[in-house]
Copies of this chain bind each other. A is one copy, B any other.
Amino acid sequence: MGNLSYMDPKDVRNLIRQNNLVRPTAGIAQGYTQANLAILPKELAYDFLLFAQRNPKPCPILDVTEVGSPEPKMVATGADLRYDIPKYRVYKKGQLHEEVLDLEKYWTKDLVAFLLGCSFSFETALLKNQIPVRHIEENCNVPMYITNIECRPAGVFSGPIVVSMRPIPEEMVVRAVQVTSRFPAVHGAPVHIGSPSSIGIKDISKPDFGDPVTINPGEVPVFWACGVTPQAVAMKVKPDLMITHAPGHMFICDIRDEDLSAF
């Protein structure tokens, strides 16, 4: 199977397509961009696209397929979003219906697939700059919190921004802002630095999603907009059908994180 870390994205997707790689994608095909998936019926696509356009920090769009096409041409020509993700979650009317390894029985001609930037990209940038990423050190999921910051609504979609938190040593906070500012297409700069209560977080030790992480003395909680936001917002509308990747099981693009840097 070769070393997954340095494998070409196309080869990885082929393994995935044959169901020979059913596992989270962290660390695979390093340097290449991994993306969140959201599939919606076309009658919701315009509102969802507009919502993303109005809220680029939580909803950084990397690609949108043509109606009915499973090929994300901008980020991976020839890929097929019905097969090329290790595991999917199918939601009906906002309720988890099942987890599946491909979308053969669900894909229809009126679906639109959205690929959205994911925090793996900017975490790589942080790590390259020797800035610690605590949930990786502690081998758990990143802590996520529902804030009191409302997204700008669009059509049927509205709701609060969900943020992820990484404790950053005080002396590295400026660098963390600089490093992640380069990547607006994958959540970009933090939305908040410091006091959790300022953005409506009552207890930093009790995340709404994911796991709590240690905050050491001299560290500041830094909050980035999180890709859970658009999923949470879409789910509120209880669409007849919505399909996402299973958590951690991302789509691996042919573009590299560096291709997404703003400068």
Contacts and interface: CB of A to CB of B under 8 A. Distances in A.
Interface of A: 45-46, 49-50, 52-54, 61, 64, 66, 73-74, 152, 154-155, 178, 181-182, 184, 189, 262-263
A16 to B, nearest CB: 25
A126 to B, nearest CB: 16
Nearest to A178: B263
Which 9 pairs between the two chains have the least Cβ-Cβ distance? A46-B46, A181-B263, A262-B262, A49-B49, A50-B64, A53-B61, A184-B262, A49-B50, A54-B74
16 contacts: A45-B46, A46-B46, A49-B49, A49-B50, A50-B64, A52-B53, A53-B61, A54-B64, A66-B154, A73-B152, A74-B152, A181-B262, A184-B262, A189-B263, A262-B263, A263-B263
Contacts of A189: 263
Contacts of A64: 50, 53-54
Contacts of A54: 64, 74
Contacts of A154: 66
Which of the listed residues A152, A178, A181, A263 has the most CB atoms from chain B within 10 Å of its own CB?
A263
Given A184-B184, A262-B262, A263-B262, A155 B49 contact: no
